[in-house]
């Protein structure tokens, strides 16, 4: 019963946030706090010119998420030159163990490499997907198979919001100060030749503190105001991520 209540709580939260995001009359803000008018003009110019890449992209959802979270992202990537056959969504057990989830990600990436013939993939994660990705790249040595990592509102250093679901191992691992977070944040947070970037916002509301997403050694992009779930529909941010991976 407690598990069902927790699922219902987060389901209602996600649905409410998505509804708010989709029905807001103005586009959500996707520029960073330091973006100038010239940068906006350049961004618009880049968006008008299709990108092309053969790097497969693996999307990793957050807590209680699934592949459907990436519908908008995949559309943006296709508009920027990716083939649908190079876009993949990894799904895992939100209530299990993020060590197991990271091991599953390792197997999934190997499968993508075998299927596409690519030597490396790019990873785009959201929320708790940041923990799964970081464990894979740092602890399991996955950085040798990843060219770029983009973390959107990643719970990379935990979130106190996870206190609402501590009956699950994944939420215990996601709470600030956990041994899991200590393991992925000690020493080099951005190992190997992988290029790392994060997108985070003070308006997130779920990642608390919101700066938890930042990674030492990464390009950390502070978005003016975007909600946690709203990031998944923010075509400006998703376009920035597509260009980052194409670089």
Q: What is the pLDDT of residues 49-61, one digit of tens each?
A: 444 478 999 999 9
Residue 19, token pair as written in the block? 């509804």
**Arithmetic mean of pLDDT over the chain:** 85
Angle at 86 between CA 61 and CA 42, to 5 degrees: 80
Q: What is the pLDDT of residues 194-214, one digit of tens each?
A: 999 999 999 999 999 999 999
Are 30 and 237 in contact by the 8 Å Cβ rule? The answer is yes
What is the CB neighbour count within 10 angstroms for residue 111? 13
The secondary structure of residue 232, as a DSSP letter, is G
Q: What is the pLDDT of residues 175-187, one digit of tens each?
A: 999 999 999 999 9
Instruction: Using DSSP, state whether 231 is helix, strand or coil.
Output: helix
The residue assigned the tokens 């198979």 is 145
Q: What is the pTM of this model?
A: 0.80
Q: At what angle do helices 235-246 and 71-79 cross, to 10 degrees?
A: 50
């Amino acid at each position: 019963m407690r598990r069902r209540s927790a699922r219902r709580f987060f389901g209602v939260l996600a649905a409410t946030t998505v509804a708010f995001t989709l029905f807001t009359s103005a586009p959500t803000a996707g520029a960073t706090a330091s973006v100038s008018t010239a940068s906006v003009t350049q961004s618009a110019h880049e968006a008008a010119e299709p990108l092309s890449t053969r790097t497969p992209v693996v999307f990793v959802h957050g807590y209680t998420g699934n592949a459907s979270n990436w519908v908008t992202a995949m559309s943006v990537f296709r508009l920027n030159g990716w083939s649908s056959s190079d876009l993949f969504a990894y799904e895992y057990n939100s209530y299990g163990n993020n060590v197991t989830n990271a091991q599953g990600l390792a197997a999934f990436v190997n499968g993508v490499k075998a299927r596409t013939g690519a030597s490396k993939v790019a990873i785009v994660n959201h929320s708790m997907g940041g923990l799964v990705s970081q464990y894979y790249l740092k602890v399991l040595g996955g950085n040798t198979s990843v060219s770029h990592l983009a973390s959107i509102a990643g719970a990379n250093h935990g979130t106190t919001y996870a206190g609402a679901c501590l009956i699950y191992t994944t939420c215990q691992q996601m709470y600030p100060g956990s041994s899991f977070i200590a393991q992925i944040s000690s020493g080099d947070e951005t190992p190997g030749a992988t290029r790392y970037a994060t997108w985070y916002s003070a308006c997130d509301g779920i990642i608390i503190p919101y700066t938890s997403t930042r990674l030492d050694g990464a390009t950390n992009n502070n978005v003016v105001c975007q909600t946690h779930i709203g990031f998944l529909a923010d075509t400006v941010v998703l376009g920035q991520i597509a260009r980052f991976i194409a670089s």
